[in-house]
């Protein structure tokens, strides 16, 4: 209990003192997780929409792969990306290993299946006659898709929350492809692991509080957006 209290006090001190290292790690965490989430949304929402609206051979297989990906351990994804980006791997010539770019790619891959799965569920839950009704009223396919996305807004924002929550809390894969290098690839989660390994539990708890505050702030903002009736 003392460690938790000390951690909370230490977190307040770090935030108010303008600690450069903490600020740098926090910013990198937001940049990496933010970009990874955006990439997963840009790729995942269209795929989820397509899966929900189209019928084709092998659809059930693809959906099962998406569901499998939602439960795939992040460390496995980190291993796969590491093998691809390692010097002897097929993408080794890009020299992306142990860079923020590698971390973004890994986190985007981790969030991708989650976004696809939530988007698919959100669109499928809509009235199946809604699309036909919109088309009969003269709406173009693009207009129909946009209106369906607006109707499924609650579920799609949940996809954003789930995807962001998954990547900002990820640690194993980030360490594998990023290396936890100070000033380059160290993020809040890997910093926590490092401080615990050094026995600095008060500092680790302080960083954990900062991570929780950031995550909660983002989730609250998205929840407000989700519940805003003006956007319906």
**Cα separation, 165 vs 8, whole angstroms:** 21
Give residue 7's pLDDT.
65
What six digits make up the tokens of 68?
């499998």
- Determine whether 47 is exposed, middle or buried from the number of CB atoms within 10 Å of its CB (0-12, 13-18, 19+): middle
Q: At what angle do helices 100-124 and 74-85 cross, to 10 degrees?
A: 130
Tokens 């009969």 sit on residue:
136
Give residue 136's pLDDT.
76
Q: Which distant-in-sequence residues (6+ apart) come within 8 Å of 103 by Cβ? A: 32, 36, 174, 177, 178, 185, 187
Contact 97, 83 (CB under 8 A): no
Q: Which distant-in-sequence residues (6+ apart) come within 8 Å of 194 by Cβ? A: 180, 186
**Cα separation, 157 vs 223, whole angstroms:** 8
Tokens 């951690």 sit on residue:
7
Give the DSSP H or E segment for 40: helix 20-53
Q: Name the CA dihedral angle for 137, 138, 144, 150, rounded to a multiple of 10 degrees.
A: -50
pLDDT digit string, tens, across residues 144-174: 878 888 888 888 889 999 999 999 998 989 9
Stated length of the chain = 232
Tokens 């949940």 sit on residue:
158
**Cα separation, 17 vs 11, whole angstroms:** 10
Phi and psi, residue 67, nearest 5°: -65, -40
pLDDT of 186 higher than 80: yes
16-20, 77-81, 141-145: least confident range: 16-20
**Cα separation, 86 vs 80, whole angstroms:** 10
17-31, 58-72, 112-126, 168-182: least confident range: 17-31
Contact 22, 144 (CB under 8 A): no
Tokens 């770090």 sit on residue:
14
pLDDT of 230 higher than 70: no
What six digits make up the tokens of 90?
């097929």
pLDDT-based confidence at 18, cuts 50/70/90?
low
Q: Domains of the chain (ranges plus CATH)?
A: 2-17+27-227 (1.10.3720.10)
Contact 158, 223 (CB under 8 A): no
């Amino acid at each position: 209990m003392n460690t938790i209290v000390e951690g909370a006090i230490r977190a307040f001190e770090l935030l108010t003192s303008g600690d450069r290292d903490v600020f740098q790690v926090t910013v990198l965490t937001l940049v990496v997780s933010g970009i990874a989430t955006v990439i997963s949304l840009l790729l995942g929402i269209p795929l989820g929409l397509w899966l929900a609206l189209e019928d084709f051979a092998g659809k059930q297989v693809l959906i099962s792969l998406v569901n499998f990906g939602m439960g795939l351990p992040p460390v496995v994804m980190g291993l796969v990306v590491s093998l691809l980006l390692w010097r002897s791997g097929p993408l080794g010539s890009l020299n992306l290993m142990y860079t923020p770019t590698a971390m973004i790619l890994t986190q985007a891959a981790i969030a991708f299946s989650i976004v696809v799965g939530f988007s698919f569920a959100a669109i499928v839950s809509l009235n199946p006659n809604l699309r036909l009704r919109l088309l009969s009223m003269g709406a173009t396919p693009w207009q129909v898709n946009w209106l369906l996305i607006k109707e499924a807004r609650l579920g799609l924002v949940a996809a954003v929350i789930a995807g962001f929550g998954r990547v900002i809390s990820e640690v194993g894969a980030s360490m594998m492809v990023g290396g936890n290098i100070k000033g380059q690839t160290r993020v809040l989660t890997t910093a926590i692991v490092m401080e615990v390994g050094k026995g600095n539990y008060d500092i680790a708890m302080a960083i954990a509080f900062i991570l929780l505050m950031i995550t909660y702030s983002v989730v609250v903002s998205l929840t407000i957006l989700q519940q805003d009736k003006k956007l319906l």
